[in-house]
């Protein structure tokens, strides 16, 4: 199979299957055309094991090994939409690269992504996968997301794909003026997708509803 036919998808990964997923997300309230187009474009079947490829366009999280999951498309769409609403920035810090699905959805919509993942083995595969999809505006680093990535900060946006009891202070420090952060916050079973905007002298916080993520492992 050529990489081109892989990318276009065949059979269970056909345009119709993807359209159904997009329609479902629209029905659930995703409005951003850019985001919906990306959900249609990004070949999610290439981010999971071949054995799970037939389920890649279901709106569900799936295992990706190492006890981690690929995020549910609705949640990726919701987080991306929130992050980019009236966004005029350029740089985004992503914590929890995983298989890189969220990264691939976001990459064409921003200038540059800096992405941190604690499991080097996952990162190695993800780097290669995104290269094969011709995504080049992402810089990766193995490391502990609790620390952010000070070198390239502050960031106009920060997106975190793992849950913590509170927002890591280092991430708030690395948020640019008027920058926004979206992440799941709270204990297992009671996580809320939280949206933070940095104002002149305070952080404004908003809940976007209940979610369920793997934990942001402390001190990785
Ligand atoms: N963004 C992925 C979902 C990743 S799941 C997607 O699009 O599907 C969450 C990821 O966060 C896992 O890969 C996990 O290894 C990573 N993670 C957990 N704790 C971390 C930490 N402290 N620092 C960096 N990455 C972490």
Residue 76 falls within a domain, yes or no?
A: yes
3-state secondary structure of 149: coil
**How far, in Å, from the CA of 11 to the mean position of ligand 1?**
30
| 169-196 pLDDT tens trace | 999 999 999 999 999 999 989 999 999 9
Residue 10 falls within a domain, yes or no?
A: no
Q: Where are the beta strands (DSSP E) in the chain?
A: 62-65, 68-70, 91-95, 112-117, 138-142, 155-160, 175-185, 192-198, 203-210
Helix H or strand E segment including 108 = none
The predicted model scores a pTM of 0.94
Residue 70 falls within a domain, yes or no?
A: yes
- Name the β-bridge partners of 205: 196
Residue found by looking up tokens 């929890």 in the block: 96
**In this structure, what are the phi and psi dihedrals at residue 82, rounded to the nearest 5 degrees?**
-65, -45
Residue 162 falls within a domain, yes or no?
A: yes
- The total of structural domains in the chain comes to 1
Residue 5 falls within a domain, yes or no?
A: no
Provide the residue range defining the domain that includes 120.
62-211
The arithmetic mean of pLDDT across residues 150-175, rounded, is 98
Contact 185, 211 (CB under 8 A): no
The better pLDDT of the pair 216, 7 is held by 216
Residue 55 falls within a domain, yes or no?
A: no
Ligand 1 atom nearest the C-alpha of 122 is: 13
Q: Is 38 in the pocket of ligand 1 (CB under 6 A)?
A: no
Q: What is the pLDDT of residue 188?
A: 86
Q: Whole-angstrom Cα distance, residue 63 to residue 70?
A: 6
Distances (CA, A) of 211 to 10, 77, 79: 32, 13, 11
Question: How many contiguous H segments (helices) and E segments (strands) does the chain have?
Answer: 7, 9
What is the percentage of the chain residues whose pLDDT exceeds 90? 90
DSSP class of residue 81?
H
Contact 13, 53 (CB under 8 A): yes
Ligand 1 atom nearest the C-alpha of 76 is: 7
Mutation test residue for ligand 1: of 63, 162, 193, 213, the one with most atoms within 8 Å of CB: 162
CA-nearest of 212, 115, 7 to 126 is: 115
| 4-63 pLDDT tens trace | 545 544 556 788 999 999 999 999 999 999 999 999 999 999 999 989 999 999 999 999
Residue 191 falls within a domain, yes or no?
A: yes
The CATH number of the domain holding residue 118 is 3.40.50.150
Q: Is 92 in the pocket of ligand 1 (CB under 6 A)?
A: no
Q: Is 220 in the pocket of ligand 1 (CB under 6 A)?
A: yes
CA-nearest of 106, 107, 126, 110 to 118 is: 126
Residue 157 falls within a domain, yes or no?
A: yes
């Amino acid at each position: 199979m050529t990489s081109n036919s892989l990318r276009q998808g065949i059979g269970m990964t056909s345009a119709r299957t993807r359209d159904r997923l997009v329609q479902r997300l629209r029905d659930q309230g995703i409005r951003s055309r850019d985001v919906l187009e990306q959900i249609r474009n990004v070949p999610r079947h290439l981010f999971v094991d071949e054995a799970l490829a037939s389920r890649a366009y279901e709106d569900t999280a799936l295992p990706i090994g190492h006890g981690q999951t690929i995020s549910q498309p609705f949640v990726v769409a919701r987080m991306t939409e929130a992050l980019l609403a009236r966004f005029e920035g350029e740089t985004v810090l992503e914590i929890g690269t995983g298989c890189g699905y969220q990264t691939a959805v976001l990459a064409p919509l921003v200038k540059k992504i800096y992405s941190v993942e604690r499991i080097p083995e996952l990162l190695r595969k993800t780097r290669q996968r995104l290269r094969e999809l011709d995504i080049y505006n992402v810089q990766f680093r193995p490391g502990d997301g609790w620390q952010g990535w000070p070198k390239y900060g502050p960031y106009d946006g920060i997106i975190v794909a793992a849950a913590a009891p509170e927002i890591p202070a280092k991430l708030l420090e690395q948020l640019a003026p008027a920058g926004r952060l979206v992440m799941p916050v709270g204990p297992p079973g009671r996580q809320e997708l939280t949206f933070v905007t940095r104002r002149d002298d305070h952080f404004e916080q908003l809940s976007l509803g209940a979610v369920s993520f793997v934990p942001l492992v402390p001190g990785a």
